[in-house]
């Protein structure tokens, strides 16, 4: 049995999906970035100090990086050379505390073998975001949002002008977006994510390769076509991850994705304040959607809540004990009591419907920012919360899902802080027995002190 789980839609080797068949590549637009927009620099023992200094100066002005682990370390300069010191300086600038690094797979596992070169401190203090885990959640969310909006658009088109040929043509051209080909919690392949999001294709035929060969065109012994394919694969892995970052960070819908120009995806990300404004805009959009859903609820008008007794001043409403009660007043008060009772009944039903939809909306927002990790089933929620408190993890909700643990946080600022503080496998089987022994020891010690 293979060590790596194979997705069910790739199990039939004789009948691969259309986008993986060489004969079907023409069905997709190839992913291509003009070479005038980027520069390839090879850092090895042949690199000049001027080139490395140029790269260092450029990195100093950046705080967002896309990182991929397909590198070769067989042609490095001597450890005491100036080039080696510049490479170390380059990595120190990249892995600064305030920077953000994006990857498609667990970056810490990929760069762990490079610790022996002492290019950076371990563990990494930089915020490392694995978008392979976040993409599946985003795709499922935007797919459900897309279906809801599409149904709403269909209904509006039919109501506005059902006899219009132009409107009916829009309906005939309507097509649903493809559902996810993966199981829940199954990581997406980078090629699949690009096809399903933007409908463009990257060649992954060079995935399995030996990266100990020199790729610098000045010193490489590979054929030009082979070397170009390997270089193209390495840089376009980073380009593809960069291309998908904004859609996940800003929670774009499919309609927003189709309107963006591909080159705009490679501009610098806005500041945190701009992101906050964007998040508030998304919240307003979601609130408008919820408002449209609540349009079928009949609300009580303000006029229904104003009674006859409220319209009359207190001075005019003072009863005269010398006069007998008026039948008209009794009838008015009785009718007013019925109206008040009917108004309260209607308002209670409306509040229940509104609260149900409001609670559903807040449950959806609860899982907007979260971190995940492997989860051993014998962990209790009391022990999990105790561990999170001990590590100073700020969370809003904790929920086990199959063999994963979801730790929900308040916003995007706290999310990377928690990822740095918390070990990725702290809730696995080995750590369970460690924490259980620790709790038992503290319990025995407490009993001894009391005795």
Residues 6+ apart with CB under 8 A from 404: 185, 372, 373, 374, 375
Tell me the β-bridge partners of 405: 373, 400
- For the segment 58-72, the average pLDDT, to the nearest whole number, is 83
What angle (nearest 5°) sits at the alpha carbon of residue 153, between those of residues 151 and 158? 100
- Residue 259: its pLDDT value, please? 83
Q: Is 70 exceeded by the pLDDT of residue 236?
A: yes
- Per-residue confidence band for 127, with pLDDT thresholds at 50, 70 and 90: confident
Select, from the ranges 187-191, 265-269, 338-342, the one with the highest average predicted confidence (pLDDT). 187-191
- Mean pLDDT, rounded, of the chain: 71
- Cα 415 to the center of its chain, rounded Å: 11
Tell me how crowded residue 317 is: count the other CB atoms within 10 A of its CB.
Answer: 12
Q: Which of 122-131, 244-253, 262-271, 289-298 has the lowest mean pLDDT?
A: 289-298
- Residue 367: its pLDDT value, please? 64
Taking only the tens place, the pLDDT of each residue in 148-179 is: 554 444 444 434 444 444 433 333 333 456 78
Taking only the tens place, the pLDDT of each residue in 89-99 is: 998 898 887 88
Taking only the tens place, the pLDDT of each residue in 250-280 is: 888 888 888 887 777 887 766 544 444 444 4
Q: Is 90 exceeded by the pLDDT of residue 299?
A: no
Taking only the tens place, the pLDDT of each residue in 206-228 is: 765 655 567 777 777 788 888 88
- Residue 173: its pLDDT value, please? 36
Tell me how crowded residue 83 is: count the other CB atoms within 10 A of its CB.
Answer: 19
- Residue 164: its pLDDT value, please? 45
Taking only the tens place, the pLDDT of each residue in 371-406 is: 778 888 888 888 888 888 888 888 888 888 777 888
pTM score, whole prediction: 0.52
Q: Which of 13-27, 170-184, 251-265, 342-356 has the lowest mean pLDDT?
A: 13-27
Identify the burial level of 235 via C-beta atoms within 10 angstroms of its C-beta, where 0-12 means exposed, 13-18 middle and 19 or more buried. middle
- Residue 111: its pLDDT value, please? 81
**Whole-angstrom Cα distance, residue 394 to residue 181?**
34
Q: Is 90 exceeded by the pLDDT of residue 354?
A: no
- Per-residue confidence band for 55, with pLDDT thresholds at 50, 70 and 90: very high
**Whole-angstrom Cα distance, residue 346 to residue 15?**
60
- Residue 337: its pLDDT value, please? 52
**Whole-angstrom Cα distance, residue 221 to residue 420?**
41
What angle (nearest 5°) sits at the alpha carbon of residue 267, between those of residues 147 and 283? 40
SS3 31: coil
Sign of the CA dihedral with 290 first, then 295, 298, and 299 last: positive
Residue 258 or residue 305, greater confidence: 258
Integer angstrom CA distances of residue 106 from 103, 133, 158, 231? 7, 9, 48, 22
């Amino acid at each position: 049995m293979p060590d790596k789980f194979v997705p069910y839609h790739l199990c039939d080797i004789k009948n691969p999906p259309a986008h993986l068949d060489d004969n079907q590549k023409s069905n997709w637009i190839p992913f291509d970035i003009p070479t005038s927009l980027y520069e390839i620099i090879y850092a090895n023992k042949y690199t000049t100090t001027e080139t490395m200094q140029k790269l260092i100066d450029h990195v100093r002005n950046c705080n967002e990086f896309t990182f991929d682990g397909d590198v070769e370390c067989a042609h490095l300069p001597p450890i005491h050379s100036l080039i080696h010191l510049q490479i170390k300086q380059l990595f120190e600038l990249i892995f600064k505390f305030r920077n953000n690094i994006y990857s498609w797979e667990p970056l810490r596992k990929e760069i762990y073998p490079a610790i022996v070169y002492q290019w950076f401190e371990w563990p990494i203090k930089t915020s490392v975001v694995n978008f392979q885990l976040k993409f599946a959640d985003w795709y499922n969310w935007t797919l459900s949002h897309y279906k809801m909006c599409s149904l709403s658009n269909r209904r509006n088109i039919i109501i506005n002008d059902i006899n219009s040929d132009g409107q009916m043509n829009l309906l005939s051209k309507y097509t649903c977006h493809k559902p996810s080909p993966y199981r829940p919690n199954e990581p997406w392949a980078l090629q699949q994510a690009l096809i399903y999001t933007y409908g463009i294709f990257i060649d992954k035929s060079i995935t399995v390769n030996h990266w100990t060969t020199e790729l610098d065109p000045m010193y490489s012994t590979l054929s030009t076509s082979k070397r170009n394919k390997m270089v193209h694969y390495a840089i376009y892995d980073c380009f593809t991850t960069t291309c998908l970052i904004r859609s996940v960070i800003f929670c774009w819908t499919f309609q927003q994705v189709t309107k963006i120009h591909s080159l705009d995806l490679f501009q610098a990300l806005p500041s945190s304040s701009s992101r906050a404004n964007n998040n508030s805009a998304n919240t307003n959009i979601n609130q408008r959607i919820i408002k449209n859903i609540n349009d079928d609820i009949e609300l009580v008008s303000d006029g229904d809540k104003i009674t006859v007794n409220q319209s009359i001043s207190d001075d005019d409403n003072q009863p005269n004990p010398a006069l007998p009660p008026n039948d008209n007043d009794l009838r008015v008060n009785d009718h007013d009591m019925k109206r008040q009772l009917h108004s309260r009944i209607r308002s209670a039903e409306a509040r229940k419907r509104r609260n149900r939809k409001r609670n559903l909306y807040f449950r959806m927002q609860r899982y907007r920012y979260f971190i995940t990790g492997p989860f051993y089933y014998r962990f209790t929620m009391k022990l999990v919360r105790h561990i999170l408190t001990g590590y100073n993890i700020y969370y809003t909700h904790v929920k086990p899902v199959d063999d994963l643990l979801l730790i929900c946080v308040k916003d995007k600022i706290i999310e990377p802080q928690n990822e740095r503080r918390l070990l990725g496998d702290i809730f696995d089987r080995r750590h369970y027995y460690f924490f259980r022994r620790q709790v038992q020891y503290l319990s025995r010690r407490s009993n001894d002190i009391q005795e």
